[in-house]
Amino acid sequence: GERIPFGCLYIVRKGLAARRWRIYPLGRAWGEDILLNNQELIDHRQAVALTYVETHHLTRADFDDVGQFFPVHVGRIRRHVRMHLLMQRVVITEYCRSIGRTPKSFDPRSVATKLVFAEGVRHTMATQDDGIGVDDTNVDTNGPARQQPMNKLSPWKGLSSSPPESAPPQLLIDRAGADNQSANESANVASDHDHASRDAKLDAIIDSLRAQQMQIEKISAHLGLYHIFPVSAAGADREDQQVQIDNSSSWSEVVGERLLGNSRV
Q: What is the pLDDT of residues 170-219, one digit of tens each?
A: 544 455 555 666 666 766 667 776 777 777 777 777 777 777 777 777 77
Provide the pLDDT for residue 205: 79
Tell me the C-alpha distance between 220 and 230, whole Å.
10
Q: Is the pLDDT of residue 77 over 50?
A: yes
Residue with the bigger pLDDT between 29 and 251: it is 251
Q: What is the pLDDT of residue 24?
A: 52
Indicate whether 38 pLDDT > 70. Answer: no
Q: What is the pLDDT of residue 241?
A: 44
Percent of the chain residues topping a pLDDT of 70:
26
pLDDT of 78 above 70: yes
pLDDT tops 50 at residue 52 = no
How are strands ordered across the β-sheet holding 9-12?
Answer: 22-24, 16-19, 9-12, 55-58
Number of other residues whose CB lies within 10 A of the CB of residue 126: 7
- So where are the chain's domains? 9-125, 179-264
Q: Is the pLDDT of residue 69 over 70?
A: yes
pLDDT, average across residues 138-151: 49
Residues 6+ positions from 64 with CB-CB distance below 8 Å: none
- Asked if residue 13 has pLDDT above 50, the reply is no
In the chain, the percentage of residues whose pLDDT exceeds 90 is 0
For residue 86, is pLDDT > 60?
yes
